[in-house]
Structure 1
Amino acid sequence: MDFSSVMEVVGALGGVGVIAAGIGGVAGKIMSSRAIEHHKASLKEQLETHKSALNKDLETHKLTLGRELETHKSELILGADRNRLILKRQELMFEREHAAAVDFLKIFYGVMPDAWAPDLDWSDAQREIAENLPEHERQLKKFLLNHATALSQEVRKLVASARSKASDGSFEVAQETSEGSYEPDQYPSNTVNKIVDEFYEALSDAEKKIREDLQNGSFSG
């Protein structure tokens, strides 16, 4: 087909304007497609950047949580160890307190003489207690040496007071007797009886306090 034939066809189709419109339409489609591809590429790049930032933040957060978890675990282990140590100390202290209570009660119940006759009264008990004051003083001294740290301050004072009374009474009894024992028809003086009463009162108060403190869980201090 020669040029004249082509022009005739173009003319039949509406002329050069139609061709220009067709070319413009094709060019517009091409430009629109390129714009879309460019926008898609830009969105993809932004998405990858955002994903990278999120992954970085996630790793940082994981590391922070890991460090916090290890710190918390260490604190829990330390707290558990501390609690076990406190519990062990409490157990040991209770054992010492129990041993002190047992030893004291042996001394306390050993002070009062057994009834050897139906008509015995307190004056008879006073005389036997007075004669045994040196032994009571020795036992209380040993008790304080072994258990002082397991006793409350009040109990220590009461036991120490009883021991002091026993020591004073031993001296007075020695002055009134030849070998520390009264004759069958002899009774202690009022001075000795007063010391015996104060001695037994101090022991009784100590016994009550020990029982009270044990019921409260501890008598150390």
Structure 2
Amino acid sequence: MAVSDQDVEKQIRHMMAFIEQEAKEKAEEIDAKAEEEFNIEKGRLVQNEKLKVMGFYEKKEKALELQKKIQRSNLLNQSRLQVLKSRDDHVKGLLEETRRRLAEITSSPARYDKFLEDCITQGLCQLLEPAVIVRCRRDDVDRVKKVMSKSQSEYTRITKGKKCTVAVDSSFLPADSSGGVELYSKDGKIKVANTLESRLEMVSSQMLPQIRTALFGKNPNRKFDD
């Protein structure tokens, strides 16, 4: 049976419609897949950028926090140093006032004579030399000469018979010295300082921890007192 031209045309149109529909569906499928891939890529890029921004601000926050800690530590250290300086200044002022008051010993002749006698006796016992030179203030020369014999006698008693000759040095202690004496061996190689300043320095050095505790209370961070 022969196929008419009309039938052939109909079949061609049917095939073309099928092809067009298939192409349309394929195009829609490609578009949908492209849209899905685009959204996935866009989400990935957005997430990456979001992580970058979060990381940037996290670093900024950490840097600011570190800067705050450093500033806080610096301020705390400065405050501690100021407190320590104020305390040291207070202690120095206290020692200076003590030095000034010690100088008042010299205003009492009997008290000062006894002090000079004890200082010379102590120095003789420390030196244990057969001949000793005593240096004092120019104003104290007569006082020292007056008490020397008592110091020598006390030295002989303490050492059970040892003798010592004592001479006053031709050089003197500084004019601003508070008082007391310095004793030297005859060759000048050994010295014993028994001035008011030296005794104050020795006592204050030994008692500095107690002085600080009395003034400012016990330091909870200090394990030892020396």
Shared fold (TM-score greater than 0.5)?
A: no
Larger RCO, structures 1/2 (Cα 8 Å, 6+ apart): 1
Q: Would you tell me which structure has more strand in proportion to its own residues?
A: 2
TM-score under structure 1 length normalisation: 0.41
* Structure with max Cα Rg: 1
Higher percent of residues as helix: 1
Using the size of structure 2 for normalisation, the TM-score is 0.41
